[in-house]
Amino acid sequence: MFEPSPQSSLQSRKALLDVLDGIDPHRRPLWMMRQAGRYLPEYRELRAKAGSFLSLCYNPQLASEVTLQPLNRFDFDAAILFADILLIPQALGASLSFQAGDGPVLSTVRSSADLAGLSADRVSDLLAPVYDTVARVAALKPEGVALIGFCGAPWTVASYMIEGRSSTRREARLAAILAPSWFQALIDLIVEASIEYLVSQVRAGAEAVQIFDSWAGDLPAHCFERWCIEPVRQIIDGVRAQIPEARVIGFPRAAGTNLLDFAQRVPVNAVAVDAGVSPRVMGRDLAPLCAVQGNIDPLVLLAGGAALDAAVDDLAAAIPKRRHIANLGHGILPETPIAHVDALVARVRLHDGL
């Protein structure tokens, strides 16, 4: 009978899942937010072929190819689904387009009347192509690589729906402070749709999911619990009511001093942190609560060289690999040289003796 060697057995383990499960990994897991994207020439080629960003998101064959592209170049420990957090508003009934130079443009929700036109009834049907993409990637990805699904957090998604685009988010922030009844109803609707969306991704083959609260830092302290902590907790509870073993990474970007409350009160397997959080805080204050992901500045990766080496070295010194997922503090910048990503991978592996 064939018995795998210890080395081949290690290679079949998924380091990212081990860290999320509280198991010592064979190496420090590494992936990058927006790792499938514009810094890769092969992505730009497929994007042109698809015709539009949304067409690419809804084409399972092309979206799965894009999801897998970084794994053909880099020794990453995870693939992350290629999609967008604004597919949920579109599935709820909002109009959505992406305009060159302006980013996403949505119809706005600023009253109960606007909210009345939205519904979660068709989320599963409209987002079925995304689940197809997940299933394709799950079948094709390398053995030791985990697959991450995702959604946007309710506060961040609501911000886009209220503003109609990426902006200073003034109207959304006012709604959070004043808390009109329609705003709570919008958050509740996004929570409902997000639970269904993430459950379907996990059932299709995602082995972990990340909840992106990109605008968490916009919330004043007295609103943070109600509009960041509580909705994300509700999503996780809803997902685990159907899939008890579901692994979740929470990313309350720029949460500042609210970050510790988030890690203590939201039942995540890991908290992702931005570049403003020091490795010392990550290791001393957060790692005892859950695994920690991040937090290399995308500009440091763009700069490369000694600055990049030092950032990796500081993380390796501050946090043991069993409690850390190496990543950026936000998405990779489109102008990042591919050689710098190679250097990042090599430096992380150097600390593992690989």
> Residues near 50 by Cβ (< 8 Å), separated by ≥ 6?
56, 59, 62
Dihedral sign for Cα atoms in the order 271, 273, 279, 285: negative
Give residue 11's pLDDT: 52
Give residue 167's pLDDT: 78
70, 332 contact by CB (below 8 A)? no
Give residue 12's pLDDT: 63
Give residue 354's pLDDT: 60
Considering the entire predicted model, what is its pTM? 0.95
- The pLDDT tens digits of the residues spanning 192-244 come to 999 999 999 999 999 999 999 999 999 999 999 999 999 999 999 999 999 99
Give residue 113's pLDDT: 96
Residue 84 known to be catalytic: yes
Distance, CA of 276 to CA of 108 (rounded, Å): 31
Residue 253 known to be catalytic: no
Residue 8 has pLDDT above 60, yes or no: no
Residue 3 has pLDDT above 60, yes or no: no
Percent of the chain with pLDDT over 90: 92
- The pLDDT tens digits of the residues spanning 124-162 come to 999 999 999 999 999 999 999 999 999 999 999 999 999
* Active-site choice (160, 169, 247, 253): 160
* Active-site choice (27, 28, 34, 253): 34
The DSSP secondary structure of 200-230, one letter per residue, reads HHHHHT-SEEEEEETTGGGS-HHHHIIIIIH
* Active-site choice (13, 21, 38, 285): 38
Domains of the chain: 6-351 (3.20.20.210)
* Active-site choice (27, 28, 47, 323): 47
- The pLDDT tens digits of the residues spanning 297-323 come to 999 999 999 999 999 999 999 999 999
Q: Give me the mean pLDDT over the 284-292 stretch.
A: 98
User: Comparing C-alpha atoms, which of 148, 124, 126 is closest to residue 137?
Assistant: 148
* Active-site choice (18, 77, 84, 297): 84
- The pLDDT tens digits of the residues spanning 63-108 come to 999 999 999 999 999 999 999 999 999 999 999 999 877 789 999 9
Residue 38 known to be catalytic: yes
